[in-house]
Structure 1
Amino acid sequence: MTTSVPVAVRAARMPAAVALKKLRIIDDRLADGYGSPPSLNELAQLCGLSSRHLTRGFRVSRGCSLGHYAARLCMEKAMGLLSKDEKVYKVAAALGYTTASGFSDAFRKQCGCTPGEFRRAAL
């Protein structure tokens, strides 16, 4: 025998979306510059939320995880630098990667091509 859960109870279990003001705080911090991305705890503290609440609410608000969103923003920055003919190792260092190969692997996974292939196509 299955028990159905009332709609009001199901709605109460759904995570709330993160407010637009808090999303802007996250966007500003992620776009703050190059180098190491902020930690989940840092972003949660900036927003005045627990890391769990931020994680669940962010997914509801943006339709993807905070990690995927940050990775996409990072690769967008990389694409901008690569289209200006920056060297791959310089782009990797500017974005906080310790090795060019680590950056290349992440870029390929996110974008479907290597940074060198992207740069050649962009120029």
Structure 2
Amino acid sequence: MVTDEKIKIGMLSMLKPTVNFANKMTADPGQVWGPRTIPDCQLIYIVSGKATVTLGPNVFQLNPGECLFYGNNPHKLVSSKDDPFTFKSIHFSWDEESPVPNHPLNGIKNCSTSELGDLVSPYQILVDEHGEVEFPNHFILPNVETLFTQIIREYRFEEPGYTFVMRGLLTQLITIIIRNEMNGKYSSGERRKIAPALEAIRKQPNINWSSCELAELCGYHPTYFASIFRETIGSSPKHYLIQERIRKAKQLLLEVKTIEEVSVKLGYTSLHYFCRNFKTVTGLTPTEYKIQSLEL
């Protein structure tokens, strides 16, 4: 039985996703896929028309511009009888050494209607300095249709290097979806709890936020707050603040004339401390980073 146990995908920056199949088609009125399971994962973009998908206990009504994702959980997809949908579809594997497609057809299996009620296992991806992000099942994301189109074209025509190009495009698509999820409403329960603290740090990295102040923003005891922060993000609030400051510093070093000014803008009272933090995170001094960026 499929449960809601998390499926750990691994570190985003280390993934080697592979496109197994890509296609665009228009369904027949009332056409049905499933109940079934697939051996890999699938992303669908709705171009026009309407459809309904049953995924675990959830039923989604799909309209133009919406996207759907599922893995090997039992699912059922039904095209509208009155307004059959046209869609773009990508079957893929998350992490494979080879970029060569492995067609999923032989691994597709029918399942019982009762299995559609099984809880869906969420797919979670580890993002540097942000912790785990749950890949969404149903979402709207503007401007991704072009990526679907490019992947389908590469799959169909198999021009030289097409597997390498598909891997790059799919990596870009996955990253955009994850970024959108991260920049949204912090959908996971634990991340929602610390969302006010994350927002405060991102908006005002120049403030030397204490763990107690951040905990108060979220309405929790400092000890409990520090625990869920580390569990969700993978680092302490202090370390996360440093990371955000250095991320902002990289931008400011290309815009502001002096390193001292960047240091002050980010709330550092000691230039030495700023330089030490910067080198610890990036491996370069601010001066080296600034010169290297200008040379490039």
Do they fold alike, i.e. is TM over 0.5? yes
- The yes-or-no answer on 1:65 pairing with 2:236 is yes
Query: Which amino acid letter does the alignment assign opposite residue 74 of structure 1?
Result: R
The alignment partner of 1:113 has SS state of coil
How many Å apart are 1:83 and its aligned residue? 2.2
Aligned with residue 35 of structure 1, among 181, 206, 220: 206
Task: Select the structure of larger CA radius of gyration.
Answer: 2
CA distance in 2, matches of 1:18, 1:43: 18
- The yes-or-no answer on 1:44 pairing with 2:215 is yes
Deviations 1:63-85 (A, max 9, x none): 12222111101100111101225
Contact 1:108 1:114 in 2 (8 A): yes
Deviations 1:68-118 (A, max 9, x none): 111101100111101225310000111111132221111111211100000
RMSD (Å), alpha carbons: 1.8
CA distance in 1, matches of 2:208, 2:217: 14
> Quick one: higher RCO (CA 8 Å, sep 6+), 1 or 2?
1
Aligned with residue 56 of structure 1, among 200, 205, 227: 227
Q: 1:108 to 1:58 in 2, by over 3 A?
A: same
Alignment of 1:103-118 (within 5 A): 103-118=274-289
Contact 1:18 1:58 in 2 (8 A): no
Unpaired runs of 5+ residues, structure 2, are 1-187
Higher strand share: 2
TM-score by length of 1: 0.78
Query: Which amino acid letter does the alignment assign opposite residue 264 of structure 2?
Result: A
Deviations 1:36-60 (A, max 9, x none): 2221111101111111101111111
Q: Which runs of 4+ in 1 moved over 2 A?
A: 17-24, 32-37, 83-86
Farther off after superposition, 22-31 or 41-50: 22-31
Higher helix share: 1
Contact 2:256 2:262 in 1 (8 A): no
CA distance in 1, matches of 2:189, 2:254: 34
Q: Percent identity?
A: 28
TM-score by length of 2: 0.34
CA distance in 1, matches of 2:204, 2:240: 16
Tell me the number of residue pairs that the alignment of Structure 1 and Structure 2 aligns. Answer: 107
CA distance in 2, matches of 1:61, 1:92: 29
Deviations 1:16-52 (A, max 9, x none): x972223321121102235322211111011111111
Query: Which amino acid letter does the alignment assign opposite residue 272 of structure 2?
Result: S
